[in-house]
């Protein structure tokens, strides 16, 4: 199970990392020292569980947790704080648990047992829908994968074009391809498309090829390397 630790205190992050070594099923895949970077790391790494401090510079843990809930499926959130007075407010954003610093080995073990079916791993098995998240300003939004047309590398970002608009996301094409291997298809080194959108291949006067997608006005360049595979996908099944 993938774990992200978000806390502005380096010693607190190190303590949690050390305590989690006694639980090999939980792997710390990243950490962050403030709320904004913690949210970004959660979008990039898609952890199953986030240990989240409440009092941090820039953005506090409560606002970060509220946005984490918008991810589909959301990670389980465990608040870790030195301030018990935040408990009531914390439970308004449905955390899986609430731990007071300094966290003991016994507290952590009990918390991990309590989390149980609240984790993203279990939620993922129950949900058929897939989503891609993106940011507009300080707001986190999402689009269901079935509404996607294509994803195209645009310098250090990836441009996501979907029914109703487009947005920039920071996941790489390779990461997206690994996340959704059954839904996404590479047609060029800089372009992925939603497989269900495949409509037709068109040959250009110069001998190149472009792909037409259902309900999309743009024609997308196909690389020679990917052409045969796309043709095979468009061939009608043999009776």
Whichever domain contains 72, its CATH number is 3.40.50.2300
At residue 225 the predicted structure's pLDDT band, cuts being 50, 70 and 90, is very high
Q: Of 169, 142, 165, whose CA–CA distance to 157 is shortest?
A: 169
Looking at per-residue pLDDT, the higher value among 146 and 5 belongs to 5
77 part of a folded domain: yes
H-assigned helices in the chain: 10-20, 35-45, 61-68, 87-90, 105-115, 120-126, 173-179, 224-234
164 part of a folded domain: yes
Q: Are residues 27 and 140 in the same domain?
A: no
Q: Are residues 146 and 79 in the same domain?
A: no
Q: Are residues 139 and 99 in the same domain?
A: no
At residue 180 the predicted structure's pLDDT band, cuts being 50, 70 and 90, is confident
Q: Are residues 13 and 119 in the same domain?
A: yes
At 141 the pLDDT is 82
Q: Are residues 104 and 198 in the same domain?
A: no
197 part of a folded domain: yes
At 92 the pLDDT is 53
Instruction: State which residues form the domain around 147.
Output: 131-234
């Amino acid at each position: 199970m993938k774990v992200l630790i978000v806390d502005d205190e380096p010693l607190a992050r190190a303590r949690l990392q050390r305590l989690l070594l006694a639980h090999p099923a939980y792997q710390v895949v990243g950490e962050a020292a403030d709320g904004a970077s913690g949210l970004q790391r959660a979008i990039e790494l898609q952890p199953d569980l986030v240990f989240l401090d409440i009092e941090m510079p820039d953005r506090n843990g409560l606002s970060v947790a509220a946005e984490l809930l918008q991810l589909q499926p959301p990670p389980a959130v465990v608040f870790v704080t030195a301030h018990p007075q935040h408990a009531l407010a914390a439970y308004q954003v449905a955390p899986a648990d609430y731990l007071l610093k300094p966290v003991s080995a016994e507290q952590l073990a009990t918390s991990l047992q309590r989390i149980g079916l609240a984790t993203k791993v279990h939620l993922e098995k129950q949900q058929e829908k897939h989503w891609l998240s993106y940011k507009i300003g300080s707001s986190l939004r999402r689009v269901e994968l079935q509404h996607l047309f294509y994803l195209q590398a645009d310098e250090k970002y990836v441009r996501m074009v979907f029914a109703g608009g487009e947005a920039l996301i920071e996941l790489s094409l390779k990461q997206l391809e690994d996340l959704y291997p059954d839904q996404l298809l590479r047609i060029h080194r800089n372009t992925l498309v939603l497989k269900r959108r495949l409509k037709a291949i068109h040959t250009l006067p110069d001998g190149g090829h472009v792909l037409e997608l259902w309900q999309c006005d743009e024609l997308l360049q196909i690389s020679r390397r990917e052409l045969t595979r796309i043709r095979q996908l468009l061939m009608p099944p043999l009776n």
